[in-house]
Chain A
Amino acid sequence: MNNETSYIGQPVNRVDGYAKVTGDAKYAADYNAGGLCYGVVVSAGIARGRIVRIDASAALQLEGVFQVFTHENVSGLAWFNMSYKDMDAPPGKHFRYLQTDMVTYSQQPVALVVAETFELARYAATLVNITYAADAHTTSLTGNLDKARPPKGKKTGFKKPANRGHFEKAFKAAQVTTDVTYYQGAEHHNPMEMHATTVLYYKNGSITVYDKTQGVLNTQSYVKSVFGLSGKKVKVLSPFVGGAFGSALRPQYQLFMAVLAALELKRSVKVMLTRQQMFSFGFRPITQQSLSLGALEDGSLQAISHKAISGTSQFEDYVENIVNWSGMLYHCKNVQQDYKLVSLDTYTPLDMRAPGAVTGVFGLECAMDELAYKLHMDPLELRRINYSVEDGSMKKPYSSKALMDCYEQAAARFGWSKRNPRPGSMKNGHLLTGWGMATGMWDAMTVPARAKATFTADGKLTVGSATADIGTGTYTIMTQIAAETLGLPIDHVTFQLGDASLPFAYLEGGSATAASVGTAVQQACLQIRERLLSLAKDIPDSPFRELSIEQITFADGKMYMSETPANFIHLKDILTLTATDAVNVTSTPLPNIFKQMKYAKNTHSAVFVEVQVDEELGSVKVSRVVSAVAAGRILNPKTARSQIVGGIVWGISGALYEESVMDHQFGRFINHNYAEYHIPVNLDINDIEVIFVEENDDVVNPLGVKGVGEIGQVGVAAAVANAIYHATGKRIRDLPITLDKLL
């Protein structure tokens, strides 16, 4: 027994890598069909008001333009609000495209032009003449803080802020305090692949929808309920997604548009948004947050207050966990939290990579740094002093929490002990070097997921679940889990996803996929093992007859007797010898809720950042990052590292570059293109080192996996801001920290 089929924890190359770099991997807009026509969306030019007139005559006169869909000619769609609700919908009145003359946000889609070619549709779209009666709009959060109100209703995963102890009293009694306010503008997801849907229409009225989505089942149920179709008529496929970061959690309007046009015109239709239109739907909400921290001179936290006010739309209450981290991360008896919303004339914000945590932990971790300076204490020491082994908000111990190891390993690697705390202490010519650090925290969630597996007589295994791979490596890690569990060479295993006919999986989000779908895949393969053993027992003179599954080892495509590995049988021979074509199973793992309920389940990180600030010109370079992550078992250090690095890059981006700038004259995000909406380029990103600390966790799931999709980003912006303070002595409390703020 060589056991060459041990893949979990190995840096296995992406199983879909070859398809991706050769162009074999097809994305939603890559599909074609005979008679395919193209839809181009016309976006509203005002933020609030009414459409008085839509004159599409010039567009319709063009030969090859089939239809211009507007609120004037779209009807017969679902009536109830419920029908427009999707798995990630926040509470409220979900937006109905092309069903009203009211304009509720700038860039609202107000017409769809469908034509024979893309070029024609795009041209015709410029000829649609819309007359608006504009009303005054409200798009400024800071100008409307007096209108802040508690959110209405609930959203999956949202935790209500909770108070404990007596903040006011404890804050007054504290020896050292900080009281600060931070501001973050909007950010749009802007994955590389723009949102697109291709709908293939069949004569019998059924459709196949290729959609950019983080949940094919979400797409399917939305289409079914909005258009009144039966599940049989709607096939949804999304095998590849070119990045999403949360933007494809909700069905976006290109889906609605493409399906509408296909059903009305009885033709196949493709609709792809432009880069500019990528700024026309959800985004990370504009947020202002205040933190008040009170401590004793020994650094022990006595009081934490964390209050946040975020923008939402006029029709839905998007909520995220911004303030909650302040009740969890540190040991503190007196915590006060408050979270309010202001309705603005924008579209509804949307989950974006580590929603809430990226914002809230930025505030908390900057405030901790400010407190450390007031205490004349090392910022890392302050975190250590207030380390908490339990989640104070729920009074539950963590299922595992190797954050102390993160601090130690990252600090050692970074060389933190050599830090002179004095701001401006590392100066070389006009370059000021600064070192900052922060803690990161995210959830280790499990969501419902099922998987099916088929093992065939050719020795091949196919496993599938209706989850998504948004570039994170889901295909790869699921293949690894399946191959290892059944002891098969990895190239004998195929994992399928992104198909609504596969067994249920919840939305691909929240860093829950590896844990949830991974468990389902593992379980399906365990079920196959059982079935193979029982088949093997049917073989005449089978040496396995008396054995239980615990006495068997699966490796190298074979089934061994663990005690006497010289006795084995090839898995495919089991099928051949028993004249079995295939073994099929479907798994429905049920988490051990009773065990899990006793624990708080989270991932943690410690991130250390070095910046170089040009004292004269204000420009900032992040020259070095070391991030240590405690996220349970790492299934694939290569894909996991990519996730963390990607998160760090985005953290740097949020700190220094990225903001969708709202022009309040027009109520419109005005830098809506890749040239002016800045994200880091290669030259901005330098040394990044990722450390995965060992963390064993048998509570979260049998694999011990916690997920790494989001934790990498949390805390990074704070570490950058803290490093900038250390370099310059300047506290910049609104992001992004552009050079003008440092002049």
Chain B
Amino acid sequence: MNNFTYSQATGIDNAVNEITGHEKSMFIAGGTNLIDLMKENVLHPDHLIDINGLHLTSIEFLDDGRLFLGALVTNADTAWHPEVEKKYPLLAEAILAGASPQLRNMATNGGNLMQRTRCYYFYDTSTPCNKRTPGSGCSAINGYNRIHAILGTSQHCIAVHPSDMCVALRAINAVVQVKGKAGERLIPIEHFHRLPAYTPQIDNNLAHDELITGIILPREHFNTHYKYLKVRDRASYAFALVSVAVVLRLKEGVIDEIRIALGGVAHKPWRDEGVENWLKDKPATDENFAEAADMILQEAKTFGANDFKPALAKRAIVRACREALNREI
């Protein structure tokens, strides 16, 4: 860990000003990911801008009825917020499936969107890693890739985005609100994270000098049939091997709308809208869910230690869909 300077942002514009033009400055929110990465010598910011004092700590309805989650609201406060519990229980369920109570009390919504992969090699500076050191190679492809991606990989990186929250956000069609020098912009969650392709060092489409101010949840909500299923190596405090966020609506006994987002399988929360459309107007049966899963996973590519993931993902999809369907309200 290197020495760094530290300042506290006094306002949103001040935070943006502070970071603009300073490639080696970084925002710090809860610090639960950034500090670890600094201690492990993976990241070396020379200046930290503490954004915890910014007034982005509320959850409130916008005039049009959408729900705004401040970037600095903690994961815990988000999950336990009455409106989130009531209207977006999928999100609450996903957040509570992540990390531990202590971490969720520190972790912020903005930080969660920005958290880096847990790839073992990314963390170990003695090994090559294109995400950490572009051009050095990917150690995971021929290495221990139990937790790695099966969809949307490239030959340069097979890492996954480890968040649970983001998988639910993807199913909910959330929008990320960001502020930069040029003003505010909205990034739909599906365009927030990206696939590794040739530049795995870039996790997402947020510019370095942009600040996440909040997450906006659409008015339309699913609080009847939903499920966040997380399959992991121990009951708690482990990242997902595969996770599935499902919301669905029925009409006259058939599926009217279904959304299936997957975590632990790709560099971003994964969705296949084509398959979701295929399920529309079909009966909500295990058989149809299984067929849908096969279609979603058709292109899955495995790397040895993660060979089990397509089979697990398929079962998890069917199970999550079934549990969403059978949810007792």
Contacts and interface: CB of A to CB of B under 8 A. Distances in A.
A5 interface: no
Contacts of A179: none
A661 B143 CA distance: 11
A75 to B, nearest CB: 27
A131 to B, nearest CB: 13
Nearest to A618: B312
Contact of B124 (A122, A617, A670, A684): A670
A617 B164 CA distance: 18
Contact of A616 (B124, B144, B235, B319): B319
A681 B315 CA distance: 25
A474 B89 CA distance: 50
B238 A678 contact: yes
Nearest to B121: A670
B126 A119 contact: no
A681 B144 contact: no
A126 B144 contact: no
Interface string B228-243: 0001111111110100
A373 interface: no
A670 B41 contact: no
A617 B236 contact: no
A383 interface: no
A43 B2 CA distance: 18
B120 interface: yes
Interface in A73-122: 119, 122
B1 interface: yes
Contact of A123 (B1, B118, B123): B1
Given A616-B319, A681-B234, A681-B237, A665 B312 contact: no
B120 A738 contact: no
A657 B232 CA distance: 11
Interface string B122-152: 0110110000000000010011101100000
Contact of B235 (A123, A666, A681): A681
Nearest to A120: B3
Contacts of A684: 234-236
Contacts of A276: 40
A141 to B, nearest CB: 16
Contact of A739 (B139, B312, B319): B312
B158 to A, nearest CB: 15
The binding surface of chain A is classed by DSSP as loop
A671 B239 CA distance: 13
A122 B118 CA distance: 23
Contacts of B2: 123, 126
Contacts of A666: 126-127, 139, 143
Contact of A738 (B1, B100, B233, B318): B233
A678 B126 contact: no
A675 interface: yes
Contacts, number: 91
Contacts of A738: 233
Interface in B98-135: 100, 118, 120-121, 123-124, 126-127
A616 B315 contact: yes
A621 interface: yes
B312 A740 contact: yes
B230 to A, nearest CB: 10
Interface centre among B2, B120, B123, B315, by most A CB within 10 Å? Answer: B120
Contacts of A616: 315, 318-319
A617 B319 contact: yes
B323 to A, nearest CB: 10
Interface residues of B, number: 36
Contact of A743 (B120, B142, B312): B312
B98 to A, nearest CB: 12
B144 A740 contact: no
B231 A617 contact: yes
Contact of B41 (A126, A619, A675, A740): A126
A675 B126 CA distance: 19
Nearest to B236: A683
B57 to A, nearest CB: 27
A588 interface: no
Interface string A658-687: 000101011010111101101011111000
B144 A661 contact: yes
Contacts of A670: 120-121, 124, 127, 143-144
A429 to B, nearest CB: 11
Contacts of B126: 43, 45-46, 666, 668
Interface in A687-736: none
A676 B118 contact: yes
B254 interface: no
A676 B1 contact: no
A657 B139 contact: no
Nearest to A615: B315
A671 B237 CA distance: 15
Contacts of A430: 319
A119 B3 contact: yes
B235 A683 contact: yes
A119 to B, nearest CB: 7
B308 interface: yes
A663 B144 contact: yes
A409 B316 CA distance: 41
B141 to A, nearest CB: 10
B231 A619 contact: yes
A740 B235 contact: no
Interface in B312-329: 312, 315-316, 318-319
Given A126-B2, A617-B315, A665-B139, A739 B233 contact: yes
A310 B143 CA distance: 23
B316 A617 contact: yes
Given A676-B118, A678-B238, A657 B144 contact: no
B35 interface: no
Contact of A671 (B144, B232, B319): B144
Contacts of A46: 126
Contacts of A668: 124, 126-127
B235 A671 contact: no
A123 B2 CA distance: 5
A740 B315 CA distance: 12
B207 interface: no
Nearest to B162: A675
B144 A122 contact: no
A241 B139 CA distance: 37
Interface in B149-170: none
B186 interface: no
A430 B100 CA distance: 27
Contacts of B316: 617
A678 B139 contact: no
A733 B120 CA distance: 26
Nearest to A125: B41
Interface centre among B118, B146, B147, B237, by most A CB within 10 Å? Answer: B237
Nearest to B120: A670
Interface in A249-278: 276
Given A619-B231, A670-B144, A740 B118 contact: no
B311 interface: yes
Nearest to B238: A678
B233 A657 contact: yes
Nearest to B3: A123
The 6 tightest CB contacts between A and B, nearest first, are A45-B126, A740-B308, A683-B235, A683-B236, A670-B120, A681-B237
Interface of A: 43, 45-46, 119, 122-123, 126, 276, 430, 616-619, 621, 656-657, 661, 663, 665-666, 668, 670-673, 675-676, 678, 680-684, 738-740, 743
25 contacts: A45-B127, A122-B1, A123-B1, A126-B2, A126-B41, A276-B40, A430-B319, A616-B315, A616-B318, A617-B316, A657-B233, A657-B234, A661-B144, A661-B146, A663-B120, A663-B139, A663-B143, A666-B127, A670-B127, A672-B124, A681-B100, A683-B234, A738-B233, A739-B231, A743-B308
Given A661-B144, A666-B127, 10 more contacts: A46-B126, A617-B316, A657-B233, A666-B126, A671-B120, A681-B236, A684-B234, A739-B231, A740-B312, A743-B315
